[in-house]
Amino acid sequence: MKNALIILGLLLCSMAIHSEDIRTLDTVNGKQEVDTPQFLVTHDKPFYGLAFIYNQVQPIYLLDGEVVFVDPETKTDVPVEASHYGWKSRYQLAMVEQKDGVSAQFGNNRLIISSHQEISLQTSVGYIEEYASFHVLKYAHLWGWLRQLSLGIEWLLSTINQSIGHWGWSIVVLSLVMKLLLLPIGLMTLRFQRMVSKNQTLLAPKLAEIKQQYKGEQAHNAMMAAHKELGITPFYTLKPMMTNLIQIPILVAIFNVLGEMSQLEGQAFLWISDLSLPDTLFGLGFSIPLLGTGFNLLPFVMTFITLLSTVFYKNELAPASETKKTKINLYLMAFAFFVLFYPFPAAMVLYWAMANLLQFIQQKVLGN
């Protein structure tokens, strides 16, 4: 029995494949399996809903200065031309420098490294900000121009914080600064919306009459004639939509920044213990689909501001039916944004709550 155990031990020692933690990986000789480093996830509790992306540890490699994302379930060979390979998470990285004579392959949530001789490996583990050479990993999932926009907003928020010295208040000030910067677009949208309301008021009685008298192609031709008679283009509703679309990339960039700035980790604000996590006051003891297992106060504050703005919404230029329809849409949007933002980091919800509050103030001052 003793001899059998010795033989078994020798066989196991001679096997080339074994599992290893990337933090202890310094050489390779033969084949080595490296498990996906779950220690890269810096929070203890998982995110729910669409915020699940912050739970992920993503396998990647760098090729010609670009980040290539790898499907963790599919076997993928790392090109020999790649400079590094490994993983990134929300804030951190674990990368291995490519060496001549070493091949690497991702598959089944593991990294397999192979070499026919003993070769020293250079690994880098830690926060992305600690490594200037890996700055390309910041917002790497975004298009190039959107990534640059995110880096610009991150610089703006960091600059604000240098003056204020508190990340929570810096986010509040950022929302005010962005509101002022986007005010010309907001005023243009407001002007276009008023034009739409005015045109709808002029067209409503004519279109109602046409619908009663004509059908099919005759109705279509009569409607086009009514637009022409009043000097209104059939595409008059598109103008406010186009100006609103201009703001969407900016909002996307802001939320990526607030979700991926490691400086927000552990930062408290008012009742919020950590701006990088949901502002959970207590656990529910059960899980709600898309929302999670905790009671988060800030999404309720955000939604209350939106509902308050909707209650006071009025538009004297539009028909009553259009105003009612607009209010219904706003109520539905408030519910949709509540479900969407509920499981996300408090920093993002705080910014959106402040943006809604500033929009409500603008609404009271300038009208709808």
Sequential DSSP letters for 88-106: E-SSEEEEEE--TTEEEEE
Asked whether residue 127 falls in the same domain as residue 165, the answer is no
Q: Across all residues in the chain, what is the average pLDDT?
A: 86
Contact 171, 347 (CB under 8 A): yes
Whole-structure pTM value: 0.84
* 225 belongs to a structural domain: no
Asked whether residue 130 falls in the same domain as residue 158, the answer is no
Determine the pLDDT at residue 15.
42
User: Which tens digits make up the pLDDT trace of 73-97?
Assistant: 889 999 999 999 999 999 999 999 9
For residue 337, is pLDDT > 80? yes
Asked whether residue 27 falls in the same domain as residue 164, the answer is no
C-alpha 363/C-alpha 368 separation (Å) is 5
* 199 belongs to a structural domain: no
Asked whether residue 73 falls in the same domain as residue 175, the answer is no
Determine the pLDDT at residue 137.
96
Asked whether residue 113 falls in the same domain as residue 22, the answer is yes
For residue 141, is pLDDT > 90? yes
Q: In 28-64, which positions are buried (b, 16+ CB within 10 angstroms) versus exposed (e)? A: beeebebebbeebbbeeeebbbebeebeebbbbbbbe
Which amino acid belongs to residue 19?
S
Asked whether residue 163 falls in the same domain as residue 274, the answer is yes
* 233 belongs to a structural domain: no
For residue 4, is pLDDT > 70? no
Determine the pLDDT at residue 9.
41
Q: Residue 287: is it exposed, middle or buried by C-beta count within 10 angstroms (0-12/13-18/19+)?
A: exposed
Grade residue 358 by pLDDT with cuts at 50, 70 and 90: very high
Percent of the chain with pLDDT over 90: 56
Q: Using the 8-state DSSP alphabet, how is residue 79 labeled?
A: P
For residue 347, is pLDDT > 90? yes
Mean pLDDT of 302-310: 91
C-alpha 190/C-alpha 194 separation (Å) is 6
**Number of domains, the chain:** 2
Determine the pLDDT at residue 319.
66
* 230 belongs to a structural domain: no
52 vs 20, more confident: 52
Determine the pLDDT at residue 317.
60
Helix axes 144-164, 238-260, angle to 10 degrees: 60
The structure tokens listed for 136 are: 């390309």
305 vs 10, more confident: 305
Contact 103, 85 (CB under 8 A): no
* 38 belongs to a structural domain: yes
Residue in this structure with the two tokens 């739970």, named with its chain if needed: 55
Which amino acid belongs to residue 59?
P
Domain of 119, in residue numbers = 18-137
263 vs 208, more confident: 263
Asked whether residue 166 falls in the same domain as residue 80, the answer is no
* Sheet of 19-20, strands arranged across: 19-20, 27-35, 110-120, 102-107, 76-77
